[in-house]
Amino acid sequence: MKIIIVGPAHPYRGGIAAFTDRLATEFVAEDVDVELYTFTLQYPSFLFPGKTQYSDAHAPENVKIYRKINSINPFTWIKTAKEIRGKNPDIVIFAYWMSFFAPCYAKMARIIKKNKHSRCIGLVHNMLPHEKSLLDILFSPRFVKSMDAFVALSKAVLQDVSKLDKKDKPKQFSPHPLYDHYGDKEDKLMAMSSLYLDTNYNYILFFGLIREYKGLDLLLKAMADKRIDNYPLKLVVAGEFYDKKEPYLQMIDELDIKDKVIICDKYIPDEEVKNFFNLADMVVQPYKSATQSGVTQVAYHFEKPMLVTDVGGLREIVPDGKVGYVVEPNPVKIADAICDFYDNEREEFFENNIIEEKKKYEWSKMTATIIDLYNNLK
């Protein structure tokens, strides 16, 4: 079997690229002939507020990666699609998360399928983005129309795909597998020391790019709850600000929580991720909107309890009261959960459950779902 994956991949950074690379390495491990086609230009500058789109990490081993696609140059879409079509792959997987790429993917899929052999499967991280625009509503159906089948990473995403799919094409939910390539679980004190943090404190973690929908403001307000003063607790915020940083800093000042918050304002390279997760008692995702999140799958890998808000598909992945908390997206409820976690010493109980729960999220289950979909299309 020959599979080609189209989407973000090395040398690009971020969760989607990491997912694509890891999926490819899983196919390689299963003796599948797989290749990646990624971008020469992924985001034009007006769509990318970060400092760089590129990662310093090593490329995945034994995976061929071709940088061919310019996201704003249709001639490269056509040329690359014809090249893929000529290779006659059985499956072409399009990693989809943003409607900006819908015209590119739709055009490529139509060209590829002219070989009367290849099947195009949409691997959908998000069908509609967290911050919707008119273009999202106009472009997303074009992508859905061009695919033969879909794999959605949450049930919420699956519902979004179904709403846009007028032909009831085959589609399956397969949960986001573990991000297991960031290193191993290690001693908390060692992790604290590696980041020069005071080992006399406990730490909770907010991890990832900082955007308004991720609700960091809700977590900061929760940290200002007077009950939090009962614990030797600090919040570590690790990630690059995609929104303006100043309003958050002003909020920290106004809430008088400077001594409770540590900000590491940068994109966290792969080799440092383990330090941030290993030092944490709990990972907090106070999102205001979401479909699913790769951060939960990093937390599962490092066997860390999670506190998530009841939005999108987060409840599907984090069973409330078993591996952590699912709460309403407001500061009081977030603070309630933090207090319960420490007052009732929940950490060991949650961690023991996580060891079993994480078995659901093996990469082999994702590859099996894709192959099953393809077999049903024959």
- CA 4/CA 301 separation, integer angstroms: 27
CATH code of the region 2-176+362-377: 3.40.50.2000
Report pTM: 0.86
Is residue 150 a contact partner of residue 170, using CB atoms and an 8 Å limit? yes
Alpha carbon 92 to chain centroid distance?
Answer: 21
Whether 188-360 and 2-176+362-377 are alike in CATH topology: the answer is yes
Given a cut of 50, the residues of the chain with pLDDT beneath it are: none
Domain boundaries, the chain: 2-176+362-377, 188-360
**Confidence (pLDDT) at 47:** 61
Give the torsion through C-alpha atoms of 195, 201, 205, 210, to 10 deg: -70
Third-level CATH fold of 188-360: Rossmann fold (3.40.50)
Angle ∠(129,214,218) on CA atoms, nearest 5: 145
Q: Determine whether 348 is exposed, middle or buried from the number of CB atoms within 10 Å of its CB (0-12, 13-18, 19+).
A: exposed
